Amino acid sequence: MIANQSKSTALILGGALFLGLTLLGFQLGKALIDFKQLERSVTVKGLSERDYPADVVIWPIQFTEANNDLPELYQAIENNGKKVREFLQQRGIQQDEITFNAPAITDKSAQQYGGGPRAEFRYTATQTVTVYSQNIEAVRQAMPAVAELGKQGLVLTGENYMAQTEYLFTRLNEVKPEMIEEATENAREVAEKFAQDSDSDLGKIRKASQGQFSITARDNNNPHIKQVRVVSTVEYYLSD
């Protein structure tokens, strides 16, 4: 009698334990499935691209002079520098926007080797006048007229990389917030389309990263118009 009761108790306990383990396994399995569903995500990229006018121009004007007398050479460089300054100021470029670099002097007799022919002029000088201005239009209008300096006897050079005009866009911090917002909105549109096509619901942002801003000339013919571009990468949760 007592033995039968013990067996019954053991069976009841075993059944309860089995049922409890089964329920626990079911709950764990459901939690695992829910976790896997929570981990479903999609990663998309959003683009913002805008054109802005440059706000600073750097324009180097370079000319050369040659002479056998060094003091005369320096005097000629000074006179030509005055002509450049006058030319620029007549076209609306301010005094504080004009910078004169120290002239670079070359002594050709010191560089001559062997028995080659002697150079006609012993000394040559190169002078660079740099315009750094926010008045883009005034500078651009002056550029085609620079040939007038040649008519006044200046030998202008500009074939090397040191004398190339640069256009800068310095207002990036002003346009950053709007462009980041636009890139993020563009990314969400792409993610929503993906979710729709996969019969899923788009959830919250799981992770986001902002790419680097790039500033380039819009095209070779309009270097004064800058193209600003940023790509944002955003990862969204997906659910059924």
Residue 84: which CATH number? 3.30.70.2970
Q: How many domains does the chain have?
A: 2
Residue 38 pLDDT class (50, 70, 90 cuts): low
Residue 71 has pLDDT above 70, yes or no: yes
Ranking 83-97, 112-126, 177-191 by mean pLDDT, the lowest is 112-126
pLDDT 10s digits, 90-125: 999 999 999 999 999 999 877 656 555 677 889 999
- What's the mean pLDDT when you consider all of the chain? 85
pLDDT 10s digits, 200-223: 889 899 898 888 899 999 999 999
155 and 192 together in one domain: no
114 and 184 together in one domain: no
Residue 178: which CATH number? 3.30.110.170
90 and 193 together in one domain: no
pLDDT at position 193 is 92
154 and 78 together in one domain: yes
64 and 80 together in one domain: yes
Handedness of CA 112, 116, 120, 124 (dihedral sign): negative
154 and 203 together in one domain: no
131 and 67 together in one domain: yes
163 and 79 together in one domain: yes
- What's the predicted TM-score (pTM) here? 0.75
**122-138 average pLDDT score:** 96
Answer yes or no: is 219 within a domain. Answer: yes
